Amino acid sequence: MLTLGALNRLDGVRHGFFSREGGVSEGLYASLNCGLGSNDDPARVTENRARVAASLDVAADALVTCYQVHSPDVVTVEKPWAPGAGPKVDAMVSNTPGVALGILTADCAPVLLTDPTARVIGAAHAGWRGALTGVLAATVHAMTKLGAEPGRMAAGIGPCIAQRSYEVGPEFPAPFLAADPANERFFVPAATAGKFLFDLRGFAHSELTKAGVRRVYELPHDTCREERFFSYRRACLRGEPDYGRALSAIALEP
């Protein structure tokens, strides 16, 4: 489990960005695969998720994840739902102690947020599409409805694909530049003519700052290049039929 020291110092909040290590899954899913949508043995996934919950000192059935669809949509969590029964959204917010908000990723950016004064937390799945269409600003806004203030929030961006590994086609920058010409700074030419390298982590950081979050912290890991993380792109490059999903989660202490 990886943590950000700045978030560790906030009273009443527990969080963790989990690698693929420390679980019971095998093969492509070795070993801490937490994705119910993978083709892994469901019993192994359930055990892995229970281990994540235990690391955060919450009950196994208090860890919730949503059905992620690369949207800007957010839900407020008042009580846990059954595994696999989550709504089709890409972010969650809560002020309920003891409930852990979990985000599944395999290259996309997991973003965990908190306003420790208001005792409000949020968790967002920021792939390029969700980030571009506003999932991070929507998460911040949903937190304010529970009494949080952007200026008091702290946000952590977990392991995700790094710019050096994220080659995109010539058409990819257009919607980003249409949204804001300043987004040009998140693209550099790739070695392949006409293609670009995209800085997802930097873009997510910028979106949080635009939403008013003053304290944004990052973990530097590249999921595509580091074998201790699951990676959709690496699996595709290797021709593998499936891939595991890592879990990042945040909870309010009771």
Instruction: Check residue 55 and give its pLDDT.
Output: 97
Question: Predicted confidence band at 254 (pLDDT cuts at 50, 70, 90)?
Answer: confident
Q: Is 120 within 8 Å of 147 (Cβ atoms)? A: yes
Calculate the average pLDDT of the chain: 97
Quick: pLDDT tens for 149-182. 999 999 999 999 999 999 999 999 999 999 999 9
Percent of the chain with pLDDT over 70: 100
Domain ranges of the chain: 5-161+215-252
Task: Report yes or no on whether pTM surpasses 0.85.
Answer: yes
Instruction: Check residue 239 and give its pLDDT.
Output: 98
Question: Predicted confidence band at 197 (pLDDT cuts at 50, 70, 90)?
Answer: very high
Architecture of the 5-161+215-252 domain: 4-Layer Sandwich (3.60)
Quick: pLDDT tens for 12-71. 999 999 999 999 999 999 999 999 999 999 999 999 999 999 999 999 999 999 999 999
Percent of the chain with pLDDT over 90: 97
Query: In this model, does residue 235 exceed pLDDT 90?
Result: yes
Query: In this model, does residue 213 exceed pLDDT 90?
Result: yes
Question: Predicted confidence band at 134 (pLDDT cuts at 50, 70, 90)?
Answer: very high
- Give the tokens for residue 246: 């890592």
